[in-house]
Amino acid sequence: MPEFFINGQAVQAGDDQTVMQAARANGFFIPYFCWHPNLSVPGNCRICMVEVTSEGAAEGSGWLDIACNMPITKGMRVLTDSERVRARRKETLQFITLNHPVDCGICDKAGECTLQDYHYDYNGAPSISIDAKVHATKHYKLSERIVLDNERCILCTRCVRFTAEVSKTHALGVQNRGDHSLIRPVEDGAFETDAYSDNVIDLCPVGALLSRRTLHQSRVWYLKPTPSVCPGCERGCNIDVWHRKSEWKLHALDPKRNARVDRVTPRENAQVNGPWICNKARDLADVFGRARADAPMLKGQPVALTAAIASARAMISAAHRPVALVSSWASNEELESFQAHLGTRFSRFVKADQFAEPGECVGDTLLIRPDKNPNTRAACTLGPLLPQDPKAAFAPDTDLVLVWGEGFSFANLPPRAKVIYLNAWLQPENGHADVFFPLSTMLERSGHYTNFEGVVSGFEPCFAKPAGAADAADLFPMLGAAP
């Protein structure tokens, strides 16, 4: 491992590391636009310029070079913030912002735009150009999900490289040359069907690529990220769920906006999803924005929780052959609670709560898995998967079925069995159950999921659960108590 010096400090570098990689690994910051640790190195933005002096060379004889593509040699000396470096970065920013519009006040990237940050840190001066800015296309429909502002684009080509190297759709490219260059989709429409296309929004260092779902909905400083897990498949990608901060609570507008998912972004985890997520994770607002069940019921009639618990206890106590259909969306903590308090009373089968939608990518070699449920592996420690013919799970004398979660048709229930149903959503089956309990969702409690490879990831609550909903982990001890 070669030793070299960054700002006078000796640093051990890994074999074949660049200055950028070694600097980041040792806590030295070097600005960058086009470089990304998971993409190839184009070296086209030039903002990562550093001053380099080779071993044994006289002081002041160094040269300027880009850190992202600069290989390390033994004894070399690197300055990341010298006067020469700062002067070159200022010139680079003057060039990058030559035609960039000054529309930060309406840009959705404001608050997390590295161009804004670097302009403040290294430039801070008005443009020296007296020529009119070159205008380009605004609000170009890149796909049904993404809009492109070519005037803001700095041609870092991260989006192009992502589709070529990660999603492998080769769906984006650069059209024309010089200050007339434009990012454009290929003509076969591959970007429209790219299951990972929204990652280019995160990759874009400026406000050129914007989500049509979140466009002009909320400023980033009004929101906060909560660590969570995508429940869209058994991969269990680690994500950040963004929602409104309590100090920025809305009063005049719809109060439901204070308890909604505003956006979803990847939370990097090298063991699970790296820095990427699929588009399905971005659409979790649709999953968790559905109408909620908010009251326990007996045969469709709302009752107090205590009454519903008493009735369910009596059914469990009286049952001779009860069967439980365990949710594959249940957390590890909920599964442990069920096993501890009800596991010995029921025969258990694990059911799928969700299935692939028509047109959805069922599986691929990057992240997406065929099982559209996040915790099947952990749930299967309680019992086998439900047979392909669900009716085969029930003996002729089955007299009680506990259905936990959605995805199971009541048409497959034994005709004379009583039903205890636990679910978070407003569905017709709620009123058909003998006893119904409304549950909290994963956005309203903490817990863990175990993905198909055995990696455990945790999630934290974003919102308070509805007044009538209960946490399943708290409900099972009450149901397991003697009537």
Show the low-confidence residues of the chain (pLDDT under 70): 56-60, 483
Determine the pLDDT at residue 178: 84
Please tell me the distance from the alpha carbon of residue 456 to that of residue 448, in angstroms, as a whole number. Answer: 6
* Coil vs helix vs strand at 264: strand
Second CATH level (architecture) for the domain 104-211: 2-Layer Sandwich (3.30)
Please tell me the distance from the alpha carbon of residue 317 to that of residue 430, in angstroms, as a whole number. Answer: 22
CA 439 and chain centroid, separation: 23
In degrees, to the nearest 5, what angle opens at C-alpha 260 toward C-alphas 442 and 204? Answer: 100
Determine the pLDDT at residue 59: 66
Domains of the chain by residue range:
3-96, 104-211, 225-288, 297-480
Please tell me the distance from the alpha carbon of residue 276 to that of residue 194, in angstroms, as a whole number. Answer: 13
Q: Is 131 exposed, middle or buried (0-12, 13-18, 19+ CB in 10 A)?
A: exposed
User: By the 8 A CB rule, do 144 and 194 touch?
Assistant: no
In 3-state terms, the chain is what percent helix, strand and coil (to 5)?
Answer: 25, 20, 55
Determine the pLDDT at residue 127: 87
Second CATH level (architecture) for the domain 3-96: Roll (3.10)
Residues in the chain: 483
Q: Do domains 3-96 and 297-480 have the same CATH topology?
A: no
Average pLDDT in the chain: 95
Q: What is the pLDDT of residues 448-461, one digit of tens each?
A: 999 999 999 999 99
Determine the pLDDT at residue 44: 92
Q: What is the CATH number of domain 225-288?
A: 2.20.25.90
Determine the pLDDT at residue 254: 79
Please tell me the distance from the alpha carbon of residue 10 to that of residue 422, in angstroms, as a whole number. Answer: 60
Determine the pLDDT at residue 453: 97
| One-letter amino acid of 31 | P
Is the pTM higher than 0.85? The answer reads: yes
Question: Is domain 297-480 in CATH 3.40.950.10, yes or no?
Answer: no
